[in-house]
Structure 1
Amino acid sequence: MANPTQPVQNSMKPGKWLNSSCKMCIHSCNTRIHITDDGVVNKVEGNPTSPSNNGRLCPKGNAAILRHYDPARFRTPLRRTNPDKGPGVDPKWEAIGWDEALDIVGRELKRTMDEDRRKLLPAINNFQKLFLWAWPAALGNANYFSSVGNFCGGGYHPMNGFVHSSFAAANDVNYCNYWINNGGGDGFSSHLHTAAQANHVAKARVERNMRVVVVEPRLSIGAAKANEWVPIRPATDRQFALGLCHVLVNEKLYDAKFLTKDTNAPYLVGADGYFVRNADGKIYVWDAVDARAKLWDDPGVKEFALEGSYDVDGKACQPAFQKFKDILRECTPEQMEAVTTVPAATTRRIAREFAKAAQIGSFIEIEGRLLPLRPAAYNYYRGAQGHKYSAMANQAFKLVNFLVGAIDTPGGHVGATLDDQMQEIRGGVGQIVPGENGMMKTAPHQLHPEVPFSYPPNETHLMGYFPIGVDPGHLTQHTLANPEKFGLDYQPDTMLLCHSNPLWNISGSREKWYEMMRAMRFIVAIDILPNESNEWADIILPAHDLMESWNMTMIEPPHHEGMCLRQPATPPLYDTKSEEEIFYEISERLGVLETWNHILNFVNGFHQKPELLLEPGRKYTDREIAERKGLLWNGKDLDWYVEHGHAVTPRRPEKWYRPWDGMRLHFYIEDILSARDTLRAKMEAADVPIRHEWEWGDYQPLPTPVLDPVHQEPSGFDLYAITFKDIQINFGESIGNPWINDIVFKDPVHTAVLLNAATARGKGLDDGDVVRIESPYGSIVARVALSEGVHPDAVCVSNALSRVATQNTGVRHGGGNFNELLPANLKHTDACSGQPETVAKVRLTKLAAMPREVAAGNSAFRQGRGH
């Protein structure tokens, strides 16, 4: 009988197996790569020794072979010879040597540094090498021209920092018995470590009969496999969650002990929204037995009051829980049904089922530690929270878990780190740190430190005006179109792209983005394959792909921890370099090599062990940096990792379950008000012209049911357009790969927009009809496919249809970028978190035929030609 821990040899050719990790999405499943004796990669599969993905691998992981051997890859440094730039315009690349290419880049970037460092727009999006994101800091530049991290999780990441001191969150598959997925495909089709999570979720359903409820406008893969699909009108998920909270609170289905002991829910809040404090800054609570105010840590408190209205030192106040209960008066399931279309009876039933499944009051012993057991959890992602009032949406979902005591408990909703190593060694970020008045210190800044406020703004995307947000890269369009309004005293003219495609991933008008790109004096792109953005470059610096490079990381592991090795499977096929070497060469030419090494020492944590420090004036290889990261994690050298492939283990329970034990969590987030008022004071002092139109109401310590502005578009726009993705196109880096195309473009879900059959009939539309999908901000064209698995108000656009065929012959022209339908303005941006609205209100117009330019793109795709 075959050993189940050994990889399966699916090739007749002899060769060797190599341990590595995948990079076909942002995550890091452990893999085994087979290389034939003649040096050809002919098989990739999951590494069965990894407890994370247990030998599983998704279609994208298997398609890594076609990434490696893609004939469209950049093979040598390239210089543009065509001065004309535009979508689909042939750059007429000329091959040049590395020294010449790097000298040109160094010269042009040095000019920008000498003139005004703010003129550089960087877009560095390699998640598995997060340390590269810090490179602009070596130049004193904080611009960020991209929506990566913000479009998908603008409010999500800061809220996880507020609640868990983490970057992400996941339901605990180890013990969960009632799993709600809202607007995210965790465990089925997308988001965190998809191949790994799908394996673990499937086992939980088979072994424990875990119930899955999926709340989404579309019958997604997850919804199709769930016990129950709850169709919901797009951009109303927050209201649904508040409806659940109404039932849990008013039927007293909540964990009062958890709320009073482990959260700030009993802290008294004044009329100004701030906690009521004494002269020493200590917060008051109300003792329900003695009927008087006491300090939160008074050992004489007999019973913390969660409800009621009181007077303390002449100040009217209420417990934070009462504040939330008052909000919920306007959130009955019946009231929320009018917004969400989810029947009130369904909301009430799910809330009761959820509370019952949570087993409030139960405990479990894990490794000698007695812990609350709460096997019910509410999980969500971009579809649910990617809206104007994103911070409030994220908090609403968290509060469902708060109410049953399921935050960071076995079976509950648990924080997940961004880069495991940073959780271990980076002080104050991704760690649990005590704060004031018994509360855990919040950590909303998970990607980088807070960007200082300035006026005029030093960042085109106004990051200094989002003190607890994630970089709103889309606002660059808004500010550059109105430089006087925003006080911009410089005009960006240089761009550095690294594994980034902002012209695809960013909201707003394509034409306006094109205008901005044409205005660039110089653009350099570090990349592997052509895309919509790097075709505008003046210089291409070709990077190694994942089978030619070294790295050590584990990105957003839901239930595991430990470094994952990526190592070369073959020598570089072409004249390419690692990203590390490229940035070192550029840094040396700019005279910032020492600064860059200092930054690398900090962001990688090497400063924690002096023997790992990078020397100031040296350049290091990707191999040397990977080895240091491995040594930092477990003291093992690269030879150990080459043999084992990874150091992955189940997450240590003390890190995973209640790592904040003894501190109180932020049920009520006063820090949001503090950030608001500090920013407002800075704007007033600087006399910032836009301060009076800033969306100050977006800063709320508790979520409210206020409608997102997308619902208030002109009445002629009667449907809601959403975009979605399945596992084979999860986190980009996909379309254009022949194997991925073979899956995607044979599936009608990904070759036409989905429309509810009854809605289509009401509009005189049928399968295959061509429609223009128009929002108040832009339009796209596509064919219609009718489906019963779509909410009647929704138009569902696959991520596969949002690409534009340019010089990459493998990209199908879908009729226009979905993001064209979305605005890039302040009104539709959460002033608290920086999250842009990701749903568009649209109207459909039937066309007689596919427009000529779209038909030409499709024809080019079918014939295997580019533009």
Structure 2
Amino acid sequence: MTNEPGVSQSSGFKMSRRSFIKGSSAVVGAAIAGGVLLDTGRGGLVETKTAKAAGTEKWVKSYCGSCIWANCGTEVKVVDGVAVELRGNKDHPNNQGTLCPRGSAQLMSTYNPYRVKTPLKRTNPEKGLDVDPKWVEISWDEAISTIAQRLKSVMASDPRKFMWTYGFSTGLHECALAPAHVMTIGSPNNFASAGPLCDVHYAPATFNASYVDRIDMNYCNYIVTFGRNLGGAAMFASGPGRALANALERGLKIVSVDPHCNAEASKGEWVPIRPATDLAMGFAMLNVILHELNEYDVHAMKFRSDGPYLIGGDGDYLRGAGGKPQIWDAKDGQAKDYDDPTLTDPALEGDFLVNGVKASSGFMVLKEHVKQYTPEWAEPITDVPAATIRRITKELVDHACIGQTIIIDGHEMPYRPACVAVGRGAANEFQGQAFYYIADVINLVIGAIGVPGSVVSNLPFVLDVKDGLLNFRWVNCDTTFSIPARDYSGGNFYPRTTFAIPGHTIAAILDPKKHYLDYELEVMFTHGTNQFIAEPNREDAVAAWKKFKFIFSLAYVLDENTMLSDIVLPEHSLYERQQIRQANETMTVGDNIRMNGWNYRENILEKPLYDSIQYEELWTEIFAKMGPEMLGKWNAICNMLTGINLDVTQKHTYSEIVDARLKEVINKDPNKGIDFMREKGFLDIRLPLSECYDYYYLGINSKTRLHMFDMDLMRDGKTLFKNLAAHGIKEIPGWEGKMDEVERAYEPLPTWYDNRMSKENQEFDLYAVNWKISCRNLGAGGQDDNPYLREVVEKWDIDDVRIQMNEKMAAEKGLKTGDKVEVESITGGKATGIIKTTNLVRYDCLGFAGQGGRISPFVFPGSRKGSNYNQLLSNRMGDILPESGSIPNSVRVKIKKAN
């Protein structure tokens, strides 16, 4: 590699101060010429200064904010109050000095000329995504006073009429305080716009009470991925990228099962499966393991699963006189409570008669269930040859080293250096969450759950045990039922979902009575989200937002959300904020598996570049304006959520909250507050390696088991339908004529069924698929508005912003690279784009990399390039996954050349 002027070879982006100011001025000039930069009277991007012989220079410790989980430490060089260089912090345990493209480009987060620079008020009462709001600048006092008065009015009427809409970018703030304002106001209404399209949490939470499944690259030698990225294209780049690279050097083999040939496939094997058929392949793999190879982890089945639990004729566990699930003891020839101390030899296979009731072991039920799903059955559904399914399954089992152990920190654990790993690309499909669950069953059958080399949790999320099994628990999950409905989330009808369901919320706003609501929403606060880009069915959202009497937004740029807002408040950029953020790796782990520390940052400049504010500070100002009672309530809730003890009668800066939390909760030392964290930029906490594996908690130190049967899912379904019947409700709103789909979603062990993706369709003869790209994963951290990143995507990323189409299919359709096309989905969605022919997608697929097609006239023009893939999908009820609320992210489509 040659050393080019102005480029740091080790740490990412770097330029001289003179070059930066010159380049920034050019961008500003172009923006003003285009009429899309709001001039606040502050002059140019940076003040013109007379050159000095020697400037003041300092390096400021910070951390990156271009991922949803801000793990990487950074250092920013500031000269005369201008940030001129950004590099990774070489002492940070996660990134160790490296930065991905997203992190390296984050200087533009601060020096983005399209930022909102001062509070704005709409003067045009008409609203729409194509309607000029006719903004005027207002003072902060007018903005805060207006908002405070609106909130007072809505609280006097009914606090439930306030709603908070948020997204992934809200997670870049202080997570503990994120919901504090809605709690202070007393409203139950909030929803995240992006979660349903990236639901990699439901199945891990259900199966092993984990926030997300991590892959232990320290020991893994063989991995089968379904719709999952492992390295740089994952949500978190530096740590996972290094972990994957080290594992590949060690000899890791990757089998990527995906309609798109991703970066991981280029390092191993690509299996181009038909979209939305992953469950069929998963069943076939289980069939091979249990009926052909007959190789499985007997100890894991007997003592770490509900495999020996007896299942009665009602499909639920057979229970003894004390109400506990029964296990047949093969040694004594009788049924016993699962926790009976005399139980020594649980029977895995067999049918038994217990007190006149016929029952079978769970393992036998599983084995019989998958008997029908042979590789030959799966081949025409998945388009994966039966021989390939058999070979991959055998390789997986052979590499699992069943029966072998390893000593870590003096603890003996199973050693299983092979696993199946599922990502968004497979989880967000028809029966996708069911497949994710079955994939974890495959891992459990070979003993590859929570042990070295396998799928491990990011430590128990909410550790709860029921019937001897790790129980599904989620902080947002509420299975209570009420009519009228308690809120707009949809929780009444989706008791297992881990988030409020945007499609249901939008439909409920448009027709509250149909959704059994006795009040209408009036005021909305939006932050860190983009309902009109991140969600399908944009026209529904526009109609719903128009019903609000008042909307205010905290915004980085004048995005699509702001087009329908009444007041827009300017937000600090990533490097102008003072924050602490927990740092632990949650996706692909290697040497960073032990990391469990905290990151710290503060404004890298002497003062914010514009008249902006931080999220946490905003609400202090609002509640202080509303009066002492509201300020006291806000302070009390902040104390409760953070564990600190500040005076509730006083107005506190966020800096005071951070300092108190560091001293009272995190460091537990009155001398270790902000000054202590500022020096290094992070608090380095390492867990003992043994404690990074679930087995430490669920195997060595307890007898807690994992379940292959989601009996709670079945019970929740029965309760749901009982509640519906009790209130005379025959169909869930939006599921008219489709209640059979809802019912079968609540099976404790899923079955395969044909759907609109697997059935032939001559009109919609193609599939549209979508995946993340390294320079734009979730749009967090201003990725869409960053010209550096857009240039990388357009010029150097193999995926770029065009619609990828298989060369053979393109020739058959009379299309070629560079043609503009229109794509229409079976759900009625439409998108336009430019074709790029390639052999890196299946013959029958159109590939959409990342997300593009912004429509606000006030954002960086480059972000409007590309296609808005999400508009091809549907978040309407009847189109989503009824048990989880997830949105299927591939869809049948047809294509034609645009006029």
Per the normalisation by structure 2, the TM-score is 0.87
Moved more, 585-594 or 341-350: 585-594
Which residue of structure 2 lines up, in the alignment, with residue 594 of structure 1?
A: 632
Residue among 491, 495, 507 paired with 2:524: 495
Which residue of structure 2 lines up, in the alignment, with residue 609 of structure 1?
A: none
Q: Answer yes or no: is 1:688 the counterpart of 2:729.
A: yes
Q: Answer yes or no: is 1:735 the counterpart of 2:766.
A: no
Residue among 431, 437, 455 paired with 1:389: 431
Q: Is the 8 A contact 1:563 1:630 kept in 2?
A: no
Which residue of structure 2 lines up, in the alignment, with residue 852 of structure 1?
A: none
Count of aligned residue pairs for this structure pair: 819
Residue among 473, 479, 482 paired with 2:502: 473
Residue among 166, 169, 186 paired with 1:140: 186
Which residue of structure 1 lines up, in the alignment, with residue 560 of structure 2?
A: 532
In 2, the alpha carbon distance for the partners of 1:499 and 1:656 equals: 31
Deviations 1:15-52 (A, max 9, x none): 22221111112121333333333111112222111221
**Where in structure 2 are there 5+ consecutive unaligned residues?**
1-7, 18-54, 587-592
Q: Answer yes or no: is 1:176 the counterpart of 2:256.
A: no
Which residue of structure 2 lines up, in the alignment, with residue 763 of structure 1?
A: 813
Amino acid at match of 1:580: E
Equivalent residues in 2 for 1:691-702, closer than 5 Å: 691=732, 694=739, 695-702=742-749
Deviation at 1:843, TM superposition (A): 1.0
| Structure-2 change in CA distance of 1:708 and 1:369 (3 Å) | farther
Q: Answer yes or no: is 1:432 the counterpart of 2:463.
A: yes
SS of corresponding position for 2:311: strand
Residue among 776, 779, 784 paired with 2:830: 779
Q: Where does structure 1 differ by over 4 angstroms across 4 or more consecutive aligned residues?
A: 4-14, 691-694, 712-715
Deviations 1:780-836 (A, max 9, x none): 112211111101221111224343342213344347532222222232222221112
Deviation at 1:179, TM superposition (A): 2.3
SS of corresponding position for 2:321: coil
Q: Answer yes or no: is 1:813 the counterpart of 2:864.
A: yes
Deviations 1:265-285 (A, max 9, x none): 211112222111112111111
Q: Is the 8 A contact 2:851 2:866 kept in 1?
A: no
Deviations 1:686-732 (A, max 9, x none): 33353586512211222322244443585421111112221110111
Which residue of structure 1 lines up, in the alignment, with residue 336 of structure 2?
A: 294
Residue among 225, 240, 253 paired with 1:197: 240
Amino acid at match of 1:688: I
Which residue of structure 2 lines up, in the alignment, with residue 621 of structure 1?
A: 653
SS of corresponding position for 2:96: coil
Which residue of structure 2 lines up, in the alignment, with residue 44 of structure 1?
A: 86
Q: Answer yes or no: is 1:236 the counterpart of 2:288.
A: no
Which residue of structure 2 lines up, in the alignment, with residue 822 of structure 1?
A: 873
Q: Is the 8 A contact 2:600 2:678 kept in 1?
A: yes
Q: Is the 8 A contact 2:417 2:454 kept in 1?
A: yes
Which residue of structure 2 lines up, in the alignment, with residue 641 of structure 1?
A: 677
| Structure-2 change in CA distance of 1:584 and 1:842 (3 Å) | same
In 2, the alpha carbon distance for the partners of 1:778 and 1:755 equals: 19
Q: Is the 8 A contact 1:461 1:473 kept in 2?
A: yes
Which residue of structure 1 lines up, in the alignment, with residue 603 of structure 2?
A: 568
Which residue of structure 1 lines up, in the alignment, with residue 533 of structure 2?
A: 504
Deviation at 1:453, TM superposition (A): 2.6
Residue among 649, 665, 688 paired with 1:652: 688
Deviations 1:84-106 (A, max 9, x none): 22224322221111111011111
**Where in structure 1 are there 5+ consecutive unaligned residues?**
418-422, 424-429, 607-611, 850-867
Deviation at 1:522, TM superposition (A): 1.0
Deviations 1:309-335 (A, max 9, x none): 223233332222222222212321221
Q: Is the 8 A contact 1:45 1:55 kept in 2?
A: yes
Q: Is the 8 A contact 2:420 2:443 kept in 1?
A: yes
In 2, the alpha carbon distance for the partners of 1:507 and 1:280 equals: 50
Deviations 1:346-398 (A, max 9, x none): 11111111111111111111111111111112222111100243431220121
SS of corresponding position for 1:465: coil
SS of corresponding position for 1:626: helix
Deviation at 1:774, TM superposition (A): 0.7
In 1, the alpha carbon distance for the partners of 2:833 and 2:287 equals: 41
Q: Is the 8 A contact 1:20 1:566 kept in 2?
A: yes
Which residue of structure 1 lines up, in the alignment, with residue 894 of structure 2?
A: 843
Deviation at 1:748, TM superposition (A): 6.5
| Structure-2 change in CA distance of 1:176 and 1:602 (3 Å) | farther
In 2, the alpha carbon distance for the partners of 1:10 and 1:741 equals: 17
Moved more, 336-345 or 142-151: 142-151
In 2, the alpha carbon distance for the partners of 1:7 and 1:764 equals: 46
Equivalent residues in 2 for 1:315-394, closer than 5 Å: 315-394=357-436
Q: Is the 8 A contact 1:146 1:474 kept in 2?
A: no
In 2, the alpha carbon distance for the partners of 1:682 and 1:494 equals: 31
SS of corresponding position for 1:592: helix
Deviation at 1:416, TM superposition (A): 1.6
| Structure-2 change in CA distance of 1:368 and 1:495 (3 Å) | same
Which residue of structure 1 lines up, in the alignment, with residue 481 of structure 2?
A: 453
In 1, the alpha carbon distance for the partners of 2:798 and 2:220 equals: 34
Q: Is the 8 A contact 1:504 1:533 kept in 2?
A: no
Amino acid at match of 2:817: D
Amino acid at match of 1:573: L
Q: Is the 8 A contact 1:779 1:820 kept in 2?
A: yes
In 2, the alpha carbon distance for the partners of 1:815 and 1:514 equals: 22
Which residue of structure 2 lines up, in the alignment, with residue 519 of structure 1?
A: 547
Deviation at 1:482, TM superposition (A): 4.5
In 1, the alpha carbon distance for the partners of 2:631 and 2:357 equals: 57
| Structure-2 change in CA distance of 1:51 and 1:113 (3 Å) | same
Which residue of structure 1 lines up, in the alignment, with residue 28 of structure 2?
A: none
Q: Percent identity?
A: 30
Amino acid at match of 2:187: N
Which residue of structure 2 lines up, in the alignment, with residue 862 of structure 1?
A: none
Which residue of structure 1 lines up, in the alignment, with residue 42 of structure 2?
A: none
Deviation at 1:625, TM superposition (A): 2.8
Equivalent residues in 2 for 1:48-59, closer than 5 Å: 48-59=90-101
Which residue of structure 1 lines up, in the alignment, with residue 450 of structure 2?
A: 408
Which residue of structure 2 lines up, in the alignment, with residue 278 of structure 1?
A: 320
| Structure-2 change in CA distance of 1:596 and 1:378 (3 Å) | farther
SS of corresponding position for 1:797: strand
In 1, the alpha carbon distance for the partners of 2:151 and 2:757 equals: 40
Deviations 1:259-300 (A, max 9, x none): 111111211112222111112111111233444322222333
Residue among 60, 84, 90 paired with 2:132: 90
SS of corresponding position for 1:244: helix
Deviations 1:582-632 (A, max 9, x none): 11222344553333334333433x1xxxxx224333333232333344342
In 1, the alpha carbon distance for the partners of 2:274 and 2:856 equals: 32
Amino acid at match of 2:633: T
Amino acid at match of 2:747: Q
Q: Is the 8 A contact 2:11 2:86 kept in 1?
A: no
In 2, the alpha carbon distance for the partners of 1:216 and 1:670 equals: 30
CA RMSD of aligned residues (A): 2.5
In 2, the alpha carbon distance for the partners of 1:664 and 1:798 equals: 40
Moved more, 31-40 or 10-19: 10-19
Deviation at 1:775, TM superposition (A): 1.2
Q: Is the 8 A contact 2:526 2:553 kept in 1?
A: yes
Deviation at 1:745, TM superposition (A): 2.1
Deviations 1:446-498 (A, max 9, x none): 4x352743222233331233222122112223334444432233332322101
Equivalent residues in 2 for 1:71-150, closer than 5 Å: 71-125=113-167, 126-128=170-172, 129-130=174-175, 131-150=177-196
Amino acid at match of 1:740: L
| Structure-2 change in CA distance of 1:373 and 1:299 (3 Å) | same
Per the normalisation by structure 1, the TM-score is 0.90
SS of corresponding position for 2:804: strand
Amino acid at match of 1:441: N
